[in-house]
């Protein structure tokens, strides 16, 4: 693909590390393997990213590789086709920049959702300060940074 810079075996970008809450399903026109009813249970759940793992709904997934690349609005539409030529777009995702950074986290196959071996949140578009877009089964979700990095609670 012309114009797309890719690097692999990178550290997790520091601006992604921490805890994020999935706030809503983003309406897109691309093909997906989930319908809205299957996607809605993810809304309100949290994703936590550390340099070596990600957590979602109590499951921890060890990251085996991390790759980042710059994705343009045109690249994104070409990679997410829909019916009758209607592809997903940055506009549908609420992204106003001409390009964003995509973080792709590699891991062993997992059965976290019971519907696919895909792990929600293992591919992330950094959409802006405090806002990311994650996908699962072709459905896109907005997530916003929570009040801080998730910490184990310690009682004294």
Residuewise pLDDT in 10s, the chain (156 residues): 344 444 446 899 999 999 999 999 998 888 888 888 888 989 999 999 999 999 887 778 888 899 999 999 999 999 988 776 788 899 999 999 999 999 998 867 655 545 455 677 888 999 999 999 998 888 899 999 997 544 433 333
Domain CATH for 134: 2.40.128
Question: Can you name the residues that pair with 62 across neighbouring β-strands?
Answer: 53
In a domain, 73, yes or no: yes
Which residue segment(s) compose the domain that 29 sits in?
7-145
How many Cα neighbours within 13 Å face the side chain of 42?
Answer: 29
Q: Tokens 């809450």 appear where?
A: 21
In a domain, 71, yes or no: yes
CB 78, CB 20: distance < 8 Å: no
Nearest residue to 93 (alpha-carbon basis) of 70, 67, 123, 73: 73
In a domain, 43, yes or no: yes
In a domain, 115, yes or no: yes
In a domain, 61, yes or no: yes
In a domain, 95, yes or no: yes
Strands of the sheet with 139-145, listed across from one edge: 6-7, 65-72, 99-106, 123-128, 131-136, 139-145, 18-26, 46-49, 53-56, 59-62
In a domain, 52, yes or no: yes
* Separation between Cα atoms, residue 125 and residue 131, nearest integer Å: 9
| Total number of domains in the chain | 1
DSSP 3-state of 92: helix
In a domain, 85, yes or no: yes
């Amino acid at each position: 693909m012309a114009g797309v810079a890719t690097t692999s075996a990178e550290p997790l970008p520091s601006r992604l590390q921490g805890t994020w809450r999935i706030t809503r399903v983003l309406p897109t026109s691309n093909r997906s393997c989930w319908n809205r009813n299957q996607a809605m249970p993810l809304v309100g759940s949290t994703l936590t990213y550390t340099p070596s793992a990600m957590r979602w709904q109590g499951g921890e997934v060890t990251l085996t590789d991390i790759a980042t690349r710059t994705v343009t609005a045109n690249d994104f539409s070409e990679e997410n086709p829909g019916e009758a030529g209607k592809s997903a777009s940055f506009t549908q995702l609420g992204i106003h920049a001409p390009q964003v950074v995509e973080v792709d986290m590699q891991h062993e196959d997992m059965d976290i959702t019971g519907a696919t071996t895909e792990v929600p949140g293992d591919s992330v578009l950094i959409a802006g300060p405090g806002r990311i877009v994650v996908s699962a089964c072709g459905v896109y979700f907005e997530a916003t940074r929570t009040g801080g990095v998730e910490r184990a609670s310690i009682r004294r």
